[in-house]
Amino acid sequence: MDQGQDRTLLDESLGETVFFQYMGAKAPSDEHIADLLNDPDQVVYSQPQVLSVFVLLEAYDQFGVTVRSLSEDRLRSFVPWGAILYLYRVDDDPDAAG
């Protein structure tokens, strides 16, 4: 079988901008983090929510994906497969699809 036929959407999207939806939660405040450091037995709760962002898809493996923020900070994040709801490759030229 030709290796080109083995490429997946993920393979084709590596290094590209993707629309990405995943389950997450609001990050704890600095105050909550300080509380956790002072008392590791304490639990901080937050509501799960669906997060939708445009990111750069850097890598993937059997555990999940690594993405990079498009914002100025360019932060990298790992997201496990169980949290990912939707991943859509953003085409450079939307008119080319028509």
Estimate to the nearest angstrom the gap between the alpha carbon of 42 and the chain centroid.
Answer: 28
Q: Specify the pTM.
A: 0.74
User: For residue 95, what are its two tokens?
Assistant: 């008119």
Res. 3 pLDDT band, cuts 50 70 90? low
CB 7 within 8 A of CB 69: no
Q: Are 46 and 26 in contact (CB under 8 A)?
A: yes
Contact 29, 54 (CB under 8 A): no
Of 80 and 26, the structure prediction assigns the larger pLDDT to 80
* pLDDT of res. 1: 41
| % of the chain beyond a pLDDT of 70 | 88
